Amino acid sequence: MLKRTLLTLLLAVVLATICVVAVYECNQTDYNITATPLDNAYSISSNLYGIFIEDINYAVDGGLNANLIQNNSFEYTYIVGAEEYAPLELERSFWELDEGCVLTREHPIADTNPTQLKVNISDSWSTIYNIGYGERDVDGGSISIQKGCSYGATLFACGEKFSGSIKISVVTDEGELLTEEREIGLLCSTDYVKYQCEIPAINTGLGKLKIDIIGTGTLYLDSFSLRDTASYGYGLSEWGDSSIRLDLFNCLKELNPSFVRFPGGCLAEGAFSWENDYDWKQSVGSNELRVQKPNLWGYMQSMEIGFYEYFLLTEALGATAVPVLGAGVLCQARGGGELALDIDSPEFEEIVNNALDLVEFANGDVDTHYGALRASFGHEAPFNIKYLAIGNENWDAVYYDRFEVIYNAIKAKYPDIKVISSSGPHAKGKEYDYDWARIRESFADTVVDEHYYVHPDELESFYNRYDSFSRTTNVFVGEYAAHSDYFYWWDIITRNNMDEALRESAFLTGIERNGDLVEMATYAPLLCKYGFHQWAPDLIWFDTDEVILTPSYYVQYLNMNNIGSEYLPLVGSQGQGIYSSLTIDRERGKAYLKVTNTTNKRVNLSADLSSLGDFSVLKHSYIRTNDPKTYNDRGAVKIEIAESAVDITNGKIIYTMPKLSYSVIEIDF
């Protein structure tokens, strides 16, 4: 009886072992790839990966722009022709004002900045507050102050028979000082005078700017700013009164982008009325003289980060500038094609001249008009732009008839500038087909801007999208992202989860394989402030003092920092959830192997790289998850880059990839 029991137990153990082995085997798969001989390698674009900055989701004002004061120049208004689209923000001034304080246009700094605050002081004291950029529906002070930091404050003031001073500080809603108080004596001047000081922080917290006005008479105030003195560009003469929030700047710097596309996107076109057109000339010069206006995303632009600052930022990132200008057609997605400018009109002639003038501003010598203007801002050396995009997500004859005029003017005066054309907002369809036919007929030397926001399944299927494209005209994938769900402005259904990031990494293996055709590619949108999203998902999320990097960010980071100058074809299957690419840099003796596993199975990777000769693995970086819906959030960062070793056996890299993972292997050869 005992012997029979033991036999039964032994049989049970054996069966259990067989079952475990069977389960293990069905949860893993083999993936074998082989690098072809080095003679097969072909050059790919040196500008393959970049970033795209657009002021959507409060990405710039309230984000990159280090100025912590909202409605800093009292110019908040509705977008002309679309007041019903404006959010609640534009119904609020973000200022708390004493009695006797009124907005007026009777004493402007300039015609371009018509509104100012008039303060009538009869009892020798008045106080005003600005609450900064808070989350939607939050009325309290939201200016983030960090103890130990220092903040530079500026404002413009003039008076009528005014005698007195102002005190500047940041306080909590309860009145507790977060910074020291600075008192500045005011000159009795009927012309605006710029006043500035630096204020050390003595506590950490959220608060509001407090301006105590001490004296008698009438005072006019305008153009306030409050900036962390550690923000990028602060105190540098060429940056003037503008600067970039440092933690966001560092996130962009770490991506190592090869180019920066700006300032849009739809924003670059304007919408609903030509009063909303984005004119680059209105975005340069002294901040207090720039034209502030609402953007088509429904909130105001201070223009403190304008074309000049975008050029400076691009230079600071070591990247190539890709400026975008409108084509005389307002945003077609919002019906702007019906408001396109007549080609023979003076207004359209100005659009053409603006494009030519921008090239001169960026590249001209100091003896040219706009080159001298750039130099007067503190940057004598040219920015040497090589690209200029005309239009964004435009299509059909209404666009291309106008594009042709601008294109011809640019090529006549600046033949070396690469002009970027548009194939519309979708990856297929009759408009897309029309645009490509027109391009191949007349503008084959342009770089064609393609945009697509699609379901993760579809983006993954795009891994071979460009394999069969004609090599006569290069492509710029100017905006793309995987979108697993729809969203509403009051609720985010999807926030850059791992499933989306992994499908994006699969897509990018095809971008690298076609890097001879795809000249540039950039994820979009780049930035989103918590509580202010108009679009999701987004690459980087942030609030007043914290930055959250998404799984999609880590995919971009790994790709941008691990890319060679040539693509070396691989022999082995692609698709069905497993994708790979191999780029090399012979001059530096580097190779970069990327493998994506979007499946729920482990992958036994065998990569024969013996054609590289003797090689060693310098680093293996990866991201992984067990749950494809995982995303990073405030207080819950679940996805980060990890590192591990891989084996090399007989010229082969041997590694068992986890399910739902993306690996980048840096190789020395």
Query: What are the catalytic residues?
Result: 393
134 Cβ contact partners less than 8 Å away, ≥ 6 residues apart: 140, 141, 142, 531, 544
* Number of neighbours of residue 367 by Cβ within 10 angstroms: 8
Q: What is the DSSP string of 469-531?
A: S-TTS-EEEEEEEE--S--BTTB-S--S-HHHHHHHHHHHHHHHHTTTTEEEEEES--EEETT
Angle between helices 346-363 and 369-376 (to 10 degrees): 60
User: Amino acid identity of 285?
Assistant: G
Please report which helix (H) or strand (E) contains residue 374, including its range.
helix 369-376
First-last CA distance in the chain: 66
The b/e string for 562-576 (b: 16+ C-beta within 10 A; e otherwise) is bbbbbbbebeeebee
Q: Where are the alpha helices (DSSP H) in 163-290?
A: 246-255
Place of tokens 């890319």: 563
623 Cβ contact partners less than 8 Å away, ≥ 6 residues apart: 498, 501, 551, 554, 555, 558, 639, 640, 641, 642, 661, 662
193 Cβ contact partners less than 8 Å away, ≥ 6 residues apart: 156, 157, 158, 186, 187
Among 657, 263, 261, residue whose Cα is nearest residue 449? 261
Q: Is 120 helix (H, G, I), strand (E, B) or coil?
A: strand
Among 22, 32, 151, 14, residue whose Cα is nearest residue 606? 32
Place of tokens 């100091």: 366
Place of tokens 């959507």: 56
Q: Indicate left, alpha or beta for 29 from its phi (over 0: left) and psi (-120 to 50: alpha).
A: beta
| Spatial separation of the C-alpha atoms in residues 498 and 629, rounded to whole Å | 6
Q: What is the DSSP string of 567-632?
A: E--EES--BTTEEEEEEEETTTTEEEEEEEE-SSSEEEEEEE-GGG-S-EEEEEEEEE-S-TT---
Q: Indicate left, alpha or beta for 438 from its phi (over 0: left) and psi (-120 to 50: alpha).
A: alpha
User: Amino acid identity of 480?
Assistant: Y
Among 627, 633, 458, 451, residue whose Cα is nearest residue 528? 633
Longest dimension (CA), the chain: 114
| Spatial separation of the C-alpha atoms in residues 161 and 137, rounded to whole Å | 40
Please state the φ and ψ torsions of residue 485, each to the nearest 5 degrees.
-145, 160
